[in-house]
Amino acid sequence: MSLPPETGSADTGVIHDIGYRGYRGPRLGRGHATRALFTQSLRAAYGLGRSGKAKVLPMLVLAATTLPAAIVVAFALTTKLDDLGVEYAGYLSSVGMLVWIFLAAQAPVLLSRDLRHHTVPLYFSRPITRGDYVRAKFAAMFCAQFLLMAAPLLVLYAGALLGGMDVGDNTEHALYGLAAALLYALVPTSVALAIAGFTPRRGFGVAAIMGYLAVSAAVAAVAVGITRGTDSADAAQWTALISPDGLVESLVNELFDLGGGLDRRHAPGGVGTAVFALVAVALVAGSYRLLLRRYEKI
């Protein structure tokens, strides 16, 4: 004996075909994801794609580093000078404080914000690895710093060419300047990123980076200043090893025979040049390795 079917059951339902289809297109993969992260991080360093407030500081720093170069060029062209009157590499050291501000403010933007908001694991849910994440962030900050320092050098070089100044001499010194910009963008940046990678709060990261760069540079400058003109002057140059900025300035001056006067920063002799170069490589490699170990634990 069969029972009649129940009517009005709450378990009845209807399946609707809404035409859903799975993705069958190309999988761009890990390399594309890493490049996308690099591009997004580089844009973020200058506030692009973010709020107007985020653009203020990086754009102000970019303008502040480039405007003096434009003034130098305008003065040289107006008075018809035979040269610009400034060294390309020396110009970078004169705007060092502005570069520190940019680095201290923007390195935590790339790393600290992800740590604070716990978004780092979301990146690793995609094809990229922890090494890819570190490489993309490291390369983005390096490129941002290099662009910041290359901009005024290009203004100086273009002005020298427009003024009919010696092309060979200016090209040579512009290349020295770009080499200095490369080192300034690599050594201090690696140290700043290592600090930012351990500070989830952006404010602490800014203070820690700016404090280290400023204090270490001040200690090295005082040591050189108080021994100026004495037998200990060369020995005091070794104090630049504690300052990423001073290390680069001393190494560049010695390699390209730049600068002059008693205040000239330089690596002391051939042995000093080798030691300064090795310390620069050790700072970059050590900071990068420290970042990798940091993100292996996240």
With respect to residue 47, please indicate whether it lies within any of the assigned structural domains. yes
Return the pLDDT at 261: 67
Number of domains in the chain: 1
From CA 76, how far away is CA 170, in angstroms rounded? 14
Token pair for 39: 């591009």
Question: Can you give the residue range of the structural domain that contains 47?
Answer: 29-296
Give the tokens for residue 200: 């989830």
Which residue positions in the chain have pLDDT lower than 50?
A: 1-2
- Residue 298's pLDDT is 75
* Domain membership flag for residue 204: yes
Query: CA–CA separation, 191 vs 289, rounded Å?
Result: 11
22 in a domain, yes or no? no
Indicate whether 196 belongs to any domain.
yes
Give the model's pLDDT for residue 137: 93
Q: How far apart are CA 72 and CA 222, in angstroms?
A: 29
pLDDT recorded at residue 160: 92
d(CA 264, CA 260): 5
Q: Quick one: pLDDT at residue 6?
A: 54
How many angstroms from the chain centroid is the CA of residue 142?
4
Kindly state whether residue 82 falls inside one of the protein's structural domains.
Answer: yes
pTM: 0.84
Let me know if residue 18 belongs to a domain: no
* pLDDT at position 9: 53
Q: Is residue 126 part of a domain?
A: yes
pLDDT tens figures, 96-132: 889 999 999 999 989 888 888 888 888 777 788 888 9
How far apart, in whole angstroms, are the C-alpha atoms of residue 249 and residue 89?
A: 8
Q: What is the pLDDT of residue 10?
A: 55
pLDDT given for residue 129 in this prediction: 87
DSSP letter for each residue of the chain: -PPPPPSS-TT-------------S---HHHHHHHHHHHHHHHHHTTTTS-HHHHHHHHHHHHHHHHHHHHHHHHHHHTT-SS-SS-HHHHHHHTHHHHHHHHHHHHHHHHHHHHHTT-HHHHHTSS--HHHHHHHHHHHHHHHHHHHHHHHHHHHHHHHHHTT--HHHHHHHHHHHHHHHHHHHHHHHHHHHHHHTT-SSHHHHHHHHHHHHHHHHHHHHHHHHHTTTSTTHHHHGGGGGG-HHHHHHHHHHHHHT---STT-----HHHHHHHHHHHHHHHHHHHHHHHHHHHHT-
pLDDT of residue 120: 81
Looking at the domain assignment, is residue 6 inside a domain?
no
